[in-house]
Every structure is written in C-alpha cells, then in structure tokens.
C-alpha cells in the first residue's frame, strides 16, 4: 500500500516523500536492528536505570528479529520510501488468554519511526496496518507499553484512542 503524508503536512514540508507499509522480511533484519538500536539508545537516555544497554546489544537484537520474522504468529510491519530504505517499523502479535472476557489480545511493540519522518503519517499507517491484521486474526483489543517519560509517544497513542489501563512500577534491587 503506497501512502503519502496528509496534504496539510505535505504543504508544510516540500521534501515529504511517499512511503509504503509492508510486512517485514528476513532481508529487513539489518535495518530493523539498526532502528531498534536507535530506539534503545533514545530510551536509555530517558531512563538509563530501566533501559540501560549491554556493551554490544546488536547480536541479541539481530537474533530477536530473526525469531520474530520467522514466527507465523507475529508480524513485523515496516514503512519504506524505497526498497531497503526503512523509515519505520513495529511488531504485532496475538496473545490468547483464557481468563478474561476478551481473550484474544493484540500486542504491539517496538514501534519506531526515524526522527525525520515523524509527524508525516508513518506511525499512523504502521499502527493501522498492525491493527487491521490483529482484527482479522480475532483480537478484541490491542495492548502496548510505552515509557512513562515518552510524552510524544503517549500523546500519539492517545490520539489513536488508546488509554492507560495498567501501570508498571519498577524498583531496583
């Protein structure tokens, strides 16, 4: 699916480029790993005690994406401006729980849009693709986690209709 930024945004930025959203593939793993590292560094800067990185996180990150891409119960959605030029990604999976009235819950994680492509509709397009897939798979709701200090992400998710339903508290030992 080819998407362009909304007209009002495109008029504000003459450099606005069209992008496509598609399912991630094994060939995307190096770019996904780079984006996750950029995201992880941003999170570590915001909360180093919670998000502090190991000395070399790349092998674990690469292995993680290899597992996700190879798992049929998960989907990775990517946004790209040209083949191999990724500007955003997210991961979605379906989780079945037998205790709650809405047992099929979608989970969205690892949402990232490169800074120069933020506020151009890329995040919304990625979220829409993931939500559509989760709905088709039978999810009754979507759950995601966001850093407590990440105001931009909190505002973005609230604008999409998300609300706080759970709070995680952390204490170092």
Q: Is residue 172 part of a domain?
A: no
Q: Which residue has the higher pLDDT, 137 or 47?
A: 137
Q: 101 and 46 in contact (C-beta within 8 Å)?
A: no
Only one residue has tokens 């008029």, namely: 11
Q: What confidence tens digit (pLDDT) does each residue in 33-77 have? A: 999 999 889 888 888 888 888 899 899 999 999 999 989 889 999
Within a 10 A sphere around the Cβ of 91, how many other Cβ atoms?
23
Nearest-CA neighbor of 1 among 77, 65, 84? 77
Residues 89-115: what's their mean pLDDT? Answer: 87
What are 1-45's pLDDT values in tens digits? 545 444 444 434 434 569 999 999 999 999 999 999 998 898 888
CB atoms closer than 10 angstroms to residue 94: 16
Domain that holds residue 58: 17-159
CA 158, 97, 150 angle in degrees (round to 5)? 25
- Residue 52 domain-assigned? yes
- The label of the residue with tokens 């999170």 reads 43
- Estimate the share of the chain in helix, then strand, then coil, as percent rounded to the nearest 5: 40, 25, 35
Q: What is the mean pLDDT of the chain?
A: 87
Residues in the chain: 173
Q: Is the pLDDT of residue 151 over 60?
A: yes
Task: Tell me the CATH number at 24.
Answer: 3.40.630.30
How many independent structural domains does the chain possess?
1
The single-letter DSSP state of residue 100 is S
Per-residue model confidence (pLDDT) at position 10: 40
End-to-end CA, the chain: 47
pTM of this structure: 0.84
| Domain assignment present for 167 | no
Asked whether residue 9 is domain-assigned, the answer is: no
Would you say residue 71 lies in a domain? yes
| Residue 3 counted as domain residue | no
Query: Number of H helices and number of E strands within the chain?
Result: 6, 6
The residue-averaged pLDDT of 82-93 equals 94
| φ and ψ of 161, to 5 deg | 100, 5
């Amino acid at each position: 699916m080819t998407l362009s930024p909304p007209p009002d945004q495109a008029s504000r930025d003459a450099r606005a480029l069209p992008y496509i959203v598609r399912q991630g593939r094994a060939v995307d793993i190096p770019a996904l790993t780079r984006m996750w590292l950029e995201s992880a560094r941003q999170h570590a800067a915001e909360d180093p005690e919670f998000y502090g990185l190991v000395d070399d996180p790349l092998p674990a990150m690469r292995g993680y994406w290899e597992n996700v891409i190879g798992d049929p119960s998960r989907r990775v959605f990517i946004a790209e401006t040209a083949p191999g030029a990724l500007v955003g990604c997210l991961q979605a999976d379906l989780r079945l729980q037998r205790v709650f009235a809405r047992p099929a819950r979608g989970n969205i994680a690892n949402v990232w849009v490169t800074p120069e492509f933020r506020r151009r509709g890329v995040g919304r397009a990625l979220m829409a693709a993931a939500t559509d897939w989760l709905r088709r798979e039978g999810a009754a709701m979507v759950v995601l986690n966001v850093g407590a200090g990440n105001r931009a992400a909190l505002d973005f998710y609230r604008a999409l209709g998300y609300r706080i339903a759970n709070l995680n508290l952390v204490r170092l030992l």
